[in-house]
Amino acid sequence: MPSNVTAIYPGTFDPVTMGHVDIIKRGACKFGRVVVGLIDRPVRKQLLFTTAERDAFLRAALTSHENVVVESFNELVVEFARKWDATVILKGLRAISDFEYEFAMAQLNRKLAPDIETVFMMASPEHSFLSSSGVKEIASFGGSVDDLVPPPVARRLAELYSSRG
């Protein structure tokens, strides 16, 4: 892929996992710039972390990548992409169940913006089972998530769930 291509990687990242970080880092090697689009107020999800917390977690995990930018947004993904002159929407896939949802979203985005292409990247095998909701569930029962999320996220989850009793 040409190094002058900007890709956006949208998500809620509630919280960011090592799977997300892996896709972002791999994307940063393929595209000139990756803009991590942090969805500020998702329509279909209730968030555990504030936008500021999620933003800080992402920035801490991605400090060594100069061609990665983190910015929150609250609009159509294709409109966010246009603001950044992005021609690619980068999406990670873990399993067939991800594909069905992401395929439908890619088709909707293509209808809205035929000039913006969705590119799917398969999860690395060691992250193929990993989800933000799974991480939150493990943490809520006192399980260790240290190898599933960046260290600041693991610390914050431990604080949150230890204070809940």
pLDDT tens track for 29-54: 999 999 999 999 888 888 999 999 99
The rounded distance, in Å, linking the Cα atoms of 18 and 27 is: 14
User: Per mean pLDDT, which range of 2-6, 70-74, 157-161 is the poorest?
Assistant: 2-6
The per-residue pLDDT for 164 is: 61
Split at pLDDT 50, 70, 90, the class of 18 is very high
Residue 95 pLDDT level (bands cut at 50, 70, 90): confident
Task: Give the per-residue pLDDT at 29.
Answer: 95
Strands (E), 3-158: 6-11, 33-39, 68-73, 88-93, 117-122
Q: Is residue 151 part of a domain?
A: no
Partner residues linked to 70 by β-bridges: 36
For residue 160, being part of any structural domain is answered with no
Asked if the model's pLDDT at residue 1 lies above 80, the reply is no
The band of 87, judged by pLDDT with boundaries at 50, 70 and 90, is: very high
Structural domain contains residue 114: yes
Q: Which residues contact 48 (CB under 8 A, 6 or more apart)?
A: 14, 15, 136, 160
The answer to the question of residue 133 being in a domain is no
What is the rounded CA–CA span in Å between residue 80 and residue 54? 18
CATH number of the domain enclosing 98: 3.40.50.620
Domain presence at residue 20: yes
Q: In terms of C-beta density within 10 A (0-12 exposed, 13-18 middle, 19 or more buried), how is residue 46 classed?
A: exposed
Domain annotation covers residue 93: yes
Q: Are 27 and 120 in contact (CB under 8 A)?
A: no
pLDDT reported for residue 130: 94
- Name 123's bridge partners: none
Q: How far apart are CA 85 and CA 18, in angstroms?
A: 27
Give the count of beta carbons closer than 10 Å to the beta carbon of residue 161: 17
β-pair partners for 121: 92
Can you give the residue range of the structural domain that contains 87? 6-128
pTM of the full predicted structure? Answer: 0.93
pLDDT of residue 42: 82
Classify residue 101: in a domain, yes or no. Answer: yes
pLDDT of the residue at 122 = 95
Count how many domains the chain has.
1
Does a structural domain hold residue 164?
Answer: no
